[in-house]
Amino acid sequence: MVEYYNYIKALHLIFVVTWFAGLFYIPRLFIYHIEAAQKPAPEKDILTEQLKLMARRLWYIITWPSAILCTLFAIWLLFLQPAFLQQPWMHVKLAFVALLILYHIRNHLIFNQLQRNEVRYTSNYMRIWNEVATIALFAIVFLVILKSAISWIFGVVGIIILGILLMLGIRLYKRFREKNPEK
């Protein structure tokens, strides 16, 4: 089995990429759905039905299968290389992966609400929510590449700075949209 390790690792990475693609795009669809719900009929009805269809296809054809396959290949990799479980950086990475799984499940709950046309969040909230996956991606990739949990202070400071920059970007975009509603 060890001779197949790199193939399993490649498949794991492919499904990480496709899982994140789904996690990055589904909140965008939530934003569009929330904004469409504020439009008058028939535009509202047409847009929300199309966005619900797009979200269902993304969620059930790409995102959920990718999450499951990513996780299965990760478990297989850890089974083949159990020494990784002894390393502190892997503990921190797995904590971020656990948070990412919780984020995925929360997105599923939001997805179900919007499929029932229950709008409980603002589009601005969803723009901020969308950045959770970005922060998790940065943290996980840096941990995997650097294999260091020792530089935890620098990592935390970096993630805080990234979060601040993302929030500033969201606020600037909101102001731009308010001044230019047609864009």
Give the tens place of pLDDT for each residue, 103-152: 999 999 999 999 999 999 999 899 989 989 988 998 888 888 888 766 66
Question: Which H helix or E strand runs over 33?
Answer: helix 5-36
- Average pLDDT (67-95) is 94
pLDDT of residue 146: 81
pLDDT of residue 77: 96
pLDDT of residue 50: 98
pLDDT of residue 11: 98
User: Domain residues of the chain, as ranges?
Assistant: 2-179
The span from the CA of 154 to the CA of 169, in Å, is: 22
Check if the beta carbon of residue 114 is closer than 8 Å to that of residue 33.
yes
Exposed/middle/buried for residue 26 (C-beta within 10 Å: 0-12, 13-18, 19+): buried
CA gyration radius for the chain?
19
- Average pLDDT (3-19) is 96
Higher-pLDDT residue of 163, 14: 14
pLDDT of residue 153: 64
The span from the CA of 88 to the CA of 93, in Å, is: 9
pLDDT of residue 179: 87
pLDDT of residue 8: 97
Q: Which residue blocks in 37-151 are alpha helix, DSSP H? A: 43-57, 64-80, 88-115, 123-129, 131-146
- Average pLDDT (2-17) is 94
pLDDT of residue 125: 93
Give the tens place of pLDDT for each residue, 21-76: 999 999 999 999 999 999 999 999 999 999 999 999 999 999 999 999 999 999 99
- Average pLDDT (78-102) is 93
Give the list of residues 6+ apart from residue 93 with CB closer than 8 angstroms, or none: 140, 143, 144
pLDDT of residue 149: 60
